[in-house]
Amino acid sequence: MYLLLRYSASVESRAQFTKQGKLPGNERDGWHGTRRECQLGNEGKTRFCTSITCSLCGIIKTSFDLARGFNGTGFGLGWEILGKALYTSSSSSKSDNYSYNTNWNTPLKAMLLNKVIAGKCYVAEKAEETLTGPPVGYDSARLPQAATVDDLAVYRNDAIRPSYLIMYDGN
Ligand SMILES: [Zn+2]
């Protein structure tokens, strides 16, 4: 959490979001659905698994990691509409599409609620899959509000931290 707070403070010092009635660093909550290989979150199951490809345990243990995402482990990384970034959504039903279990036949699905430092957000007019960072002067990117997709993309590990694990009936 220290790195998130340090990054938040640096973003805040540049743009002073609190003067606009926003949280420091323009912090917001964002949902993230990911791959769960184990039973973490099922009734009585509170231990992380040891699989390096269980993204759920990995993200909770070490937070989101752009570098590890390259291994196909889905540590929050997506090669998606706004390039190589860590994605969250303000819509839990959108993130539900990315939450899945691999090994266990259970109706429960897992989702993470995260703190995200949006800072100054670049609004892309269309998909920009080749982005590897926000345009100069910005801290994050998203598509226009009118679009059905409301993903928020951040491009550095310290701009996001998982806060809560939510278990829900995925049926
Ligand atoms: Zn696991």
- Look at residue 73 and tell me whether its pLDDT is greater than 60: no
Cα(80)–Cα(68) distance, integer angstroms: 16
- How would residue 78 be classed by pLDDT, with cut points 50, 70 and 90? low
User: Mean pLDDT over residues 142-146, rounded?
Assistant: 77
> 72 C-alpha vs ligand 1 centroid, how far in Å?
15
Q: Residue ranges of the domains in the chain?
A: 2-169
**Amino acid 52: pLDDT:** 87
Q: What are phi and psi of 145, to 5 degrees?
A: -55, -30
> 109 C-alpha vs ligand 1 centroid, how far in Å?
13
Taking domain 2-169, whether its CATH number is 3.90.228.10 is answered by yes
> 38 C-alpha vs ligand 1 centroid, how far in Å?
4
Cα angle, residue 112 at apex, residues 110 and 118 outer, rounded to 5°: 155
- Look at residue 29 and tell me whether its pLDDT is greater than 80: yes
- Look at residue 146 and tell me whether its pLDDT is greater than 80: no
- Look at residue 136 and tell me whether its pLDDT is greater than 90: yes
Residue of 171, 148, 164 lying closest to 59 (CA atoms): 164
